[in-house]
Amino acid sequence: MNRFGKFLAVAALAVTAAIGSAQAQDKFITVASTTSTENSGLFKHILPLFKAKTGIEVRVIAQGTGQALDTGRRGDADVVFVHAPAAEKKFVAEGHGVERFEVMYNDFVIVGPKSDPAGVKGMKDAPASLTKIAAAKAAFASRGDDSGTHKAELRLWKEAGVDVKAAGGGWYRELGSGMGATLNTAAQMPAYALTDRATWISFQNRGPLEISVEGDAKLFNQYGVILVNPETHKHVKKAEGQAFIDWLVSGEGQKAIADYKLNGQQLFFPNAKKSSS
């Protein structure tokens, strides 16, 4: 081979390498998920393990569950990983998602001022505690953002027989903010608030707040994962997105979730099973 031929061969190898590198860099998926999975540090723990296993990078859009599902509806994510089962099932039934898989759970807690102006400390009945908070007109900070936590909170208020819409702007404050920001506001007011336990464990600025109500089965908090429908949105990375779901519900993924602890406490409990759409 002459010098020119060698030059062309080297150039061809360089182009091939560059294409391969670009393809490797393009091997990623976008996951719309809740603020709790991001802010708790869970993703920082499990996503590097998934990438090491598959070579697929996961780019997270952390937002409230309602917003995350809307992101999926628009086709701006490949996968949604959220915690509002009724809304998730509706998402699938309407054709926006392929199939819903349960992944893990934890629980919600009601936190409030140590002074406990509503006298709910130690109660196990969440709706009954909310009835007392409303009767006392004790300050309550709501996310008010259509997140999974907000949906759960509204469900509990309904069971308590309290019309919080009529109370807005008084003792009941709808903030339209994420969980961390809502807890910061609750600590400053101070006020009661509903939070997922994982965010509470990782929250540093507790100030006068402590757990007031916990242990009610109605505070159960299930997380599910869904592949955005590639028939509706052709650009959805079906194979890579499904690979992420398969890993989450596999023994390896479930162990990774269980192994994540903060301050000696397990934040999420794996409970994957056959699809539940």
**pLDDT for residue 9:** 53
Interval 236-241 mean pLDDT:
98
**pLDDT for residue 3:** 58
- Closest alpha carbon to 75 in 273, 243, 230, 246: 230
Q: Is the per-residue pLDDT at 7 higher than 60?
A: no
Q: Is the distance from CB of 114 to CB of 211 less than 8 angstroms?
A: no
**pLDDT for residue 6:** 57
Q: Is the per-residue pLDDT at 15 higher than 50?
A: no
Least reliable range by pLDDT among 3-12, 87-96, 189-198? 3-12
Interval 23-48 mean pLDDT:
88
Would you say the C-alpha torsion 265, 252, 26, 80 has a positive or negative sign?
negative
Angstrom distances, CA of residue 95 to CA of 19, 70, 92, 226, 232: 35, 13, 5, 11, 8
**pLDDT for residue 4:** 52
Q: Is the per-residue pLDDT at 169 higher than 80?
A: no
| Dist CA 85 CA 89 (whole Å) | 6
Q: Is the per-residue pLDDT at 51 higher than 80?
A: yes
Q: Is the per-residue pLDDT at 229 higher than 80?
A: yes
When pLDDT is cut at 50, 70 and 90, the band that residue 149 belongs to is very high
**pLDDT for residue 20:** 46
SS (H, E, C) the chain: CCHHHHHHHHHHHHHHHHHHHHHHHCCEEEEEECHHHHHCCHHHHHHHHHHHHHCCEEEEEECCHHHHHHHHHCCCCCEEEECCHHHHHHHHHCCCEEEEEEEEEEEEEEEEECCCCCCCCCCCCHHHHHHHHHHCCCCEEECCCCCHHHHHHHHHHHHHCCCHHHHECCCEEECCCCHHHHHHHHHHCCCEEEEEHHHHHHCCCCCCEEEEECCCHHHEEEEEEEEECCCCCCCCCHHHHHHHHHHHHCHHHHHHHHHCEECCEECCEECCCCCCC
Would you say the C-alpha torsion 49, 54, 60, 64 has a positive or negative sign?
negative
| Dist CA 8 CA 78 (whole Å) | 40
pLDDT tens-place string over residues 177-217:
989 999 999 999 999 999 999 999 999 999 999 999 999 99
Interval 50-55 mean pLDDT:
98
pTM given for the model: 0.85
**pLDDT for residue 168:** 73
When pLDDT is cut at 50, 70 and 90, the band that residue 21 belongs to is very low
Domains in the chain, please, with CATH?
28-106+222-270 (3.40.190.10), 107-218 (3.40.190.10)
**pLDDT for residue 54:** 98
